[in-house]
Amino acid sequence: MTMDLSPAPGAAPLPRMILSQAAFEVRAVLRNGEQLLLTLIIPVVLLVLFSATSLLDLGPGRRIDFLAPGVLALAVMSTAFTGQAIGTGFERRYGVLKRLGATPLPRGGLIAAKTLAVLAVEAVQAAVICAVALALGWHPSGDPGSVIVLLLLGTAAFSGFGLLMAGTLRAEATLAAANLVYILLLAAGGVVFPLEEFPSGVRDALGLLPISALAEGLRDVLQDGAALPAAPLLVLAVWAAAGLVLAGRFFKWE
């Protein structure tokens, strides 16, 4: 009996290609110093700094209980929006997306791989942030399932607009705009500064931002032990639907 050693060309199964591309995306993020600073170091530094000092009046209650949910929301935004927008924008500029489009991995598979990579990085972020917060005396309550739903909706909301920005603007414009949005939402999105400190009209408008909805929703669950908060969920769902539809309509691969 002879063995057939002739080549058998053909693409790998789609799930294997998606997982391989997702693993590559995760390694690229974790090896990139700027991305690591944005996605992990800055959130942890903010958590430690503002929980250990009284630079800001965070209202009644323990400081860490207010800060930990907000920093989790910031971590989601940094990965799903800022990091993804900048990374994808430069991949588009340098023709990486065009070359990937010529491989057996379909464009839908590439999007799935990027989504899995974002979720994997967020899982690492959440583990590190929660570990640091627990070490600082955080005592979360509430249903973990509700937290996961909020984080997934927040990821969808930020991812849609991150891809929209990366697929419509030049890479340099995406870099500037994504970082500007990050700073503005960090300052005015209820992450480390309570929205109650703003005038009522401004506060109501800021409460409709995805970062505010995610931060407040996580506080409702983790700080107050509430069930799924309807208002933040609705805000996040609207942003997610709008962002994903617009990204699907206007994203340019080249």
CA distance 70 to 124: 17
**Which pLDDT value is given to residue 110?**
82
In terms of Cα–Cα distance, which of 215, 214, 221 is closest to 235? Answer: 214
CA distance 229 to 243: 21
Mean pLDDT of all residues in 39-59: 81
Q: Is position 1 within any domain?
A: no
CB atoms within 10 A of CB 229: 19
Q: Is position 7 within any domain?
A: no
Please give the residue that has the higher pLDDT: either 169 or 60: 169
**Which pLDDT value is given to residue 10?**
58
Q: Give the pTM.
A: 0.89
Residue 236's domain comprises 15-51+58-250
CA distance 153 to 136: 28
End-to-end CA distance of the chain: 52
Q: Is the pLDDT of residue 26 over 70?
A: yes
In terms of Cα–Cα distance, which of 44, 212, 74, 61 is closest to 134? Answer: 44
Q: Torsion over CA of 21, 239, 166 and 191, rounded to 10 degrees? A: -90
Q: Is position 5 within any domain?
A: no
Instruction: Tell me how many domains the chain contains.
Output: 1
**Which pLDDT value is given to residue 6?**
61
Q: Are 25 and 109 in contact (CB under 8 A)?
A: no
Q: Is the pLDDT of residue 174 over 80?
A: yes
Mean pLDDT of all residues in 172-188: 93
Q: Is position 10 within any domain?
A: no
Query: pLDDT of 124-168, one tens digit each?
Result: 999 999 999 999 999 898 889 999 999 999 999 999 999 999 999
Q: Is position 208 within any domain?
A: yes
Please give the residue that has the higher pLDDT: either 77 or 54: 77
Q: Is position 8 within any domain?
A: no
Name which of 149-153, 238-242, 245-249 the model is least confident about.
245-249
CA distance 21 to 112: 9
Q: Is position 47 within any domain?
A: yes
Q: Is the pLDDT of residue 60 over 60?
A: no
Q: Torsion over CA of 137, 38, 78 and 225, rounded to 10 degrees? A: 0
Q: Is position 205 within any domain?
A: yes
Question: Which band of pLDDT confidence, cut at 50, 70 and 90, is reported for residue 7?
Answer: low
Q: What is the 3-state secondary structure (H, E, C) of 83-142?
A: HHHHHHHHHHHCCHHHHHHCCCCCHHHHHHHHHHHHHHHHHHHHHHHHHHHHHCCCCCCC
Q: Are 60 and 148 in contact (CB under 8 A)?
A: no
